[in-house]
Amino acid sequence: MNAAAATKWLVAGAVLLCLAIGWCREAVKLGRCHLLLPWLIAVLFGVGGAASVAVAGSVTFPLSRWLATTALIAPAVALLLQFRLLETGTLMLRFLYLARAPLIIPLILAAFGPIRTRAGG
Q: How confident is the model at residue 47 (pLDDT cuts 50, 70, 90)?
A: very high
Mean pLDDT over the full length of the chain? 82
For 4-44, the DSSP string reads HHHHHHHHHHHHHHHHHHHHHHHHHHHTTTT-SHHHHHHHH
Task: Tell whether 66 is covered by a domain.
Answer: yes
Task: Tell whether 27 is covered by a domain.
Answer: yes
Task: Tell whether 13 is covered by a domain.
Answer: yes
End-to-end CA distance of the chain: give it in Å, rounded. 27
Task: Tell whether 100 is covered by a domain.
Answer: no
pLDDT at 55 over 90: no
The Cα 7–Cα 1 span in angstroms is: 10
Could you report the per-residue pLDDT of 77-116, keeping only the tens digit for each?
A: 998 888 888 888 788 888 878 888 887 877 777 777 665 6
Task: Tell whether 114 is covered by a domain.
Answer: no
Task: Tell whether 39 is covered by a domain.
Answer: yes
pLDDT at 9 over 90: no
Task: Tell whether 112 is covered by a domain.
Answer: no
3-state secondary structure of 120: coil
Task: Tell whether 109 is covered by a domain.
Answer: no
Specify the number of domains making up the chain. 1
